Chains A and B, each alone.
Chain A
């Protein structure tokens, strides 16, 4: 009986202290950490069309179309199919593809999630934060990898 009363006391304590741990989304925008991986942002100006992101992508989410001169024509990314593993950002030597912290995206149909390069460019930063700054320090690990065996394919 004492245990039962202890249980009831515990819940009552929580009821009376008035604290809540849920937030009133969307009125209160949740804090996300600088490393959080959301929708991609693509910069055509930076991209050198090396297609490494397309190669590394585990589930063929990225599609790149080039002309015969190997100039980039299309850069399509299905943000609904993407598993947000960040390998494309990791592999990109020029930071052309980045994962913003923006996790809010909706569409009427699944097809609308196929973003072309213009749509990818217009993805807004979440709370105007450019995540590149917080990720910069770790890039070195990738560039110097393999020592001499670096194979950019």
Chain B
């Protein structure tokens, strides 16, 4: 699975600027200053040239994926960092840094260039307080509209009571009734609704049975995860928290995101043996998570707590049993440590391998049963094929990743494109489907389960034959980690829902100066209006289910 070096034949294609100097040449006068991040070269630009810079990078250098927008307040300035990369070659990365003045933090919006910037900049505005010029809809996104102050800004008073006067909440339904002549109906779907997979609120305008407009309203489950991580030490204390971002059992994948970023930040080398265990655990989590996704998607389409949901749960339980034996917990694993994992495989090892192999042996039969139950069912097909269509170009612009992007035919998987762990040594395929609809996303998940099973099987083979004296589960990592001041890194892994990235800026202490989570669900959820406008209510619900969002990760 290793990435092939471009051969001379490929070289005939125009070589895109990748190195820092090449990009600097391309951007020319736009660059005010240069920075060096651990993962990518960084270019400081003026706040009024954001669109020009990003357009040039996108169109002329192929940086077509705005992975994340990080905002932070420094001692002397506000800063927005646009982490750009490419869907075709994930290892090409560039950071565009936009400092703005402390007294008047106004920066040009990137929304016209990358649609995904819409929500990311709203979040930056909400939490940090940077104003984005030219932004179509700069409102708070995670906190309520009545919130006073920006909680991640430096002079934010945490003790200030957030009093919302009665007037603000006086008849919340008043707005509900628009004009008398209107043909549309406004419906609040959620935050308490059977199909929103948590506390999501979708403001929906209906035209009869059809959806005229949807606007997802998030933030009900905002738990300040980023700020919490900023108050914990790198070495141990942050690791339990990633489990709680995407809590629907993809814990190890999340832990890996933090582990990868922090290990690269601190130059920690992970022993090969630990990498294999990590790979195996992570893929078990992926199966777990996809099972839940398939089950709940079916639930959305079928209606009641039907058979397929329970069967998916049953298979998910099996993976959870394995993970419990391995990590000691069913969902909140806290199994990874910087430099490795906390425990070797449980003794007796044979029994554990037996458990996994039994599960893998039964899996094809279980998947076959799912195909019998759902994918081959004509009614389900008629419900899902050609509904919730997300064309690849739109998906890219919104920064959709993971099964959502792969269901739109975008061949993008960080496990292959930006290899980490042990993935590049193993035989497996990236699954894509070209349908761009709900059915494709369902198929991608079901087929990815099979690929994950392949990976696990190879890991088990490797672990079984691993010489006993070389079972090194943790690298030698000092008890206290203090990365250099101003060292910045943005690293991502392929989580169950897509590209899960972590940005860390070290400030010379044992705790991160800025910790930013790029949640795949956050970007994926943003595509909901694109998929649902003009469709029927049931299709909107099915599209939401096919995005497989976990609100804990959307809101963080």
Contact = CB atoms under 8 A, between A and B. Distances in A.
Q: A and B touching (C-beta < 8 Å)? A: yes
B346 interface: yes
B329 A36 contact: yes
Interface string B336-376: 00000011101100000000000000000000010011101
A62 to B, nearest CB: 13
User: Interface residue tally of chain A, by bracket?
Assistant: 35 or more
A54 to B, nearest CB: 12
B108 to A, nearest CB: 39
B479 interface: yes
A151 B479 contact: yes
Contacts of A86: 328, 334
Contact of A150 (B324, B378, B479): B479
Nearest to A133: B347
B477 interface: yes
A21 B332 contact: no
Interface string B418-444: 000000000000000000000000000
Contacts of A21: 314, 317
Contacts of B311: 14
Contact of B329 (A34, A84, A151): A84
Interface stretch (B7-15, B233-241, B256-264, B393-401): B233-241
B526 to A, nearest CB: 30
Interface in A62-108: 83-87, 90-91
A32 B480 CA distance: 34
A85 B334 contact: yes
Contact of B476 (A3, A4, A84, A147): A147
A58 B317 contact: no
Interface string B199-232: 0000000000000000000000000000000001
Given A1-B378, A7-B373, A87-B240, A33 B328 contact: yes
B377 interface: yes
B240 A14 contact: no
Given A4-B378, A58-B240, A87-B240, A35 B332 contact: no
B476 A146 contact: yes
Contact of B373 (A1, A10, A56): A10
A138 interface: yes
Interface residues of B, number: 43
Interface string A118-141: 000000000000000011011001
A141 B328 contact: no
A137 B348 CA distance: 12
A58 B228 CA distance: 10
A7 B240 contact: no
B457 to A, nearest CB: 22
A37 B329 contact: yes
A10 B367 CA distance: 12
Interface in B296-347: 307, 311, 314, 317, 321, 324-329, 332, 334, 342-344, 346-347
B477 A145 contact: yes
B473 interface: yes
B346 A146 contact: no
Given A3-B378, A36-B324, A83-B332, A134 B347 contact: yes
A11 B240 contact: no
A128 to B, nearest CB: 19
Nearest to B229: A58
A11 B380 CA distance: 16
A86 B329 CA distance: 10
A135 B326 CA distance: 11
A114 B346 CA distance: 32
Nearest to A31: B321
Interface string B462-480: 0000000000011011111
B146 interface: no
B381 interface: yes
B309 to A, nearest CB: 12
B479 A145 contact: yes
A17 interface: no
Given A58-B240, A87-B236, A35 B377 contact: no
A35 B372 contact: no
B379 interface: yes
A149 interface: yes
A2 B376 CA distance: 8
Contacts of B232: 58
Interface in A23-77: 32-37, 56, 58
A87 B329 CA distance: 13
A58 B334 CA distance: 12
> Ordered nearest first, which 8 A-B pairs have the shortest CB separation?
A35-B328, A85-B240, A58-B237, A3-B376, A3-B377, A33-B325, A85-B334, A11-B307
21 contacts: A2-B376, A3-B378, A3-B380, A6-B377, A7-B374, A7-B376, A9-B372, A21-B314, A33-B324, A35-B326, A36-B329, A56-B236, A58-B240, A85-B239, A87-B237, A87-B240, A87-B334, A137-B347, A138-B473, A145-B479, A151-B480
Given A7-B373, A33-B324, 4 more contacts: A3-B378, A56-B237, A86-B328, A138-B473
